[in-house]
Amino acid sequence: MATGRVAAVVPCKDEADRIAATVQAVAALDVVGRVVVVDDGSGDATTAAAEAAGADVVRHGTNRGKAAALETGVARVRELEDRAGEPPAALLFVDGDLQETAAALGVLTDAVLAGSADMTVATLPEQLTAGGGRGLVVGLARGGIERLTGFRPVQPLSGMRCLSPAAYTAATPLARGWGVETALTVDVLRAGLRVLEVPCALQHRVSGSDWRGQLHRAAQYRDVWLALVRRGWRPWHRG
């Protein structure tokens, strides 16, 4: 596979302190030829920091959610690649808060570029900073994915993924908001494509236990629940 044949899409909001390091680490990967950052309605200098780091940046005037940011990023990739005349061999979805650890994402591209997987999902090590959640959203996503597909993921909410064009097509339109990762796994598997979880040495900013963290997890739970129900999961049915 030729160097630079992967396009990275980085959805983010209010990551001015982290986005430059993330972009630089991703752009330094040999397989990555383009980095598109989608600033999803930030109130800080995220756009300026990403542009200074060399990313192509698209900005949403208001926050539209992670799924919308991913779709905007992919649309921008296609626009740019149409001009260049050569579409990317794979898409790499990257959270904006990984900073220098994003340099470890290259392992996600190997199986997709080799054709042995259609979507790879990063599984993360124990984080240096503990989160404030109790695993309710993870449990909901894991159980729902297993019920719908038979596959029991280790980290169902991981946002770091590499997708073949076929995998992205199978998953579109993307599920709303924070349900996007759960739905990606279900939709790609249901299309008969291959999903592989890959250990990846990443560190990211975790949600705390304060009211902001609790609101974030409540929104996650809502969006994951909706994504599963809209794909046929019926938690109120037994068996």
The owner of tokens 């909706």 is: 226
- The chain-wide mean pLDDT, for the chain, equals 91
Helix (H), strand (E) at residue 90: strand 90-93
List, for residues 24-73, the tens digit of each pLDDT value: 999 999 999 999 999 999 999 999 999 999 999 999 999 999 999 999 99
List, for residues 164-201, the tens digit of each pLDDT value: 999 999 999 999 889 999 999 999 999 999 999 999 99
Say whether 185 sits in a helix, a strand or coil. Answer: helix
Residue 6 corresponds to which tokens in the numbers above? 């992967």
List, for residues 80-101, the tens digit of each pLDDT value: 987 766 788 999 999 999 999 9
pLDDT at 108: 97
Do residues 178 and 140 lie in contact, with contact meaning Cβ atoms separated by under 8 Å? no
In whole angstroms, give the CA distance from residue 184 to residue 194: 12
Task: Enumerate residues 6+ apart whose C-beta is below 8 A from 77.
Answer: 7, 9, 34, 36, 88, 91
Residue 216 reports pLDDT greater than 90: no
**Angle, nearest 10°, between helix axes 136-149 and 180-190?**
10
pLDDT at 138: 93
- The domains of the chain, with CATH numbers, are 6-129+154-207 (3.90.550.10)
In whole angstroms, give the CA distance from residue 177 to residue 69: 9
Of 42, 196, 203, the C-alpha closest to 120 is 196
**Is 59 buried (19+), middle (13-18) or exposed (0-12) by CB count in 10 A?**
middle
Residue 192 corresponds to which tokens in the numbers above? 């008969």
pLDDT band at residue 160 using 50, 70 and 90 as cut-offs: very high
pLDDT at 39: 98
Do residues 29 and 105 lie in contact, with contact meaning Cβ atoms separated by under 8 Å? yes
Do residues 12 and 97 lie in contact, with contact meaning Cβ atoms separated by under 8 Å? yes
pLDDT band at residue 130 using 50, 70 and 90 as cut-offs: low
